[in-house]
Amino acid sequence: MRNKLSASFEKIFRKSSQEFEKIHKAREIGLSLSREIIGISSRAIRSAHRGEFNKSQEQIDLAMKKLSHAKPKIAQFAADINSAFLLDAEKEICESIAFISFLTGKPIPQKYAKSFSPSSWLKGMAEAASELRRSALDRIRSNSVSDSEKYLDTMNEIVDMLESVDFPEGVTSGLRRTTDQLRSVVERTRGDITIALERKDLEKSIESLKRDLTQ
């Protein structure tokens, strides 16, 4: 026959197991939705690269809908679930929102201002600025170097802002590392643009020399 002490522990054990089941289900739902959000946000960025901004916005709206569905399920078990995966999903949405803003020159809609954590916003901005490298290289290939310089200016502006953030990594969730990665991307892009400008100047000099020789 079980004593009262054993019975009390058994009761706690059963209740804990039931709670674990709820926590596990909530976590699995959150993980699944987060993976969907990340995939949707990637498609939004690809659409923006192609100039399909309406399609990109549709993807962002879908991602926001899924995020609003995931957050409450995780929030009720906030003390038991490491929800870093949800912050990653937030960051990807922020990246797509910021990237559209960079390409179109339009401000970020106010409706998004309070939708995300500070770290998600700033890391998303950093990764969106990194995406501008591809846009800059596309402009170089199409012989529109001046446009690529505009993208570089935006990248520099974002780096300067992010480098002014002076809080511990435990507060910013790794923002410093993301900023360092962006700085590296900016330097490579600056080098590519410099080479393109030098090549353009050389081509002009050669054309000028040809004209002089044929006169």
**pLDDT of 190-210, one tens digit each?**
999 999 888 876 666 667 666
Residue 210, pLDDT score: 66
Residues 6+ apart with CB under 8 A from 173: 84, 87, 117, 119, 123
Residue 85 has pLDDT above 90, yes or no: no
| 3 state DSSP class of 134 | helix
Whole-model pTM: value is 0.86
Given a cut of 80, is residue 175 above it in pLDDT?
yes
Residue 74 burial (CB < 10 Å; 0-12/13-18/19+)?
A: buried
Residue of higher predicted confidence among 8 and 167:
167
Q: How far apart are CA 189 and CA 88, in angstroms?
A: 26
Q: Is it the case that residue 145 has pLDDT exceeding 70?
A: yes
- Mean pLDDT lowest among 22-26, 49-53, 162-166: 22-26
Per-residue pLDDT at 36 exceeds 80: yes
Query: What pLDDT was estimated at residue 81?
Result: 75
Query: What DSSP designation does 167 have?
Result: S
164: Cα separation from own chain's centroid: 19
- Percentage of residues of the chain with pLDDT beyond 90: 58
Residue 183 has pLDDT above 60, yes or no: yes
What pLDDT, on the 0 to 100 scale, is given for residue 191?
Answer: 94
Nearest to 34 by CA among 105, 114, 92, 120: 92
Q: What are the pLDDT digits (tens) for 1-24?
A: 566 778 788 888 889 999 999 989
pLDDT at 97 over 90: yes
Region 173-195 average pLDDT: 94
Residue 84 has pLDDT above 60, yes or no: yes
Average pLDDT, the chain: 89
Q: What is the pLDDT of residue 113?
A: 82
Question: What pLDDT is stored for residue 212 in this prediction?
Answer: 63
Residue at token pair 């993976």: 35
pLDDT of 165 above 80: yes
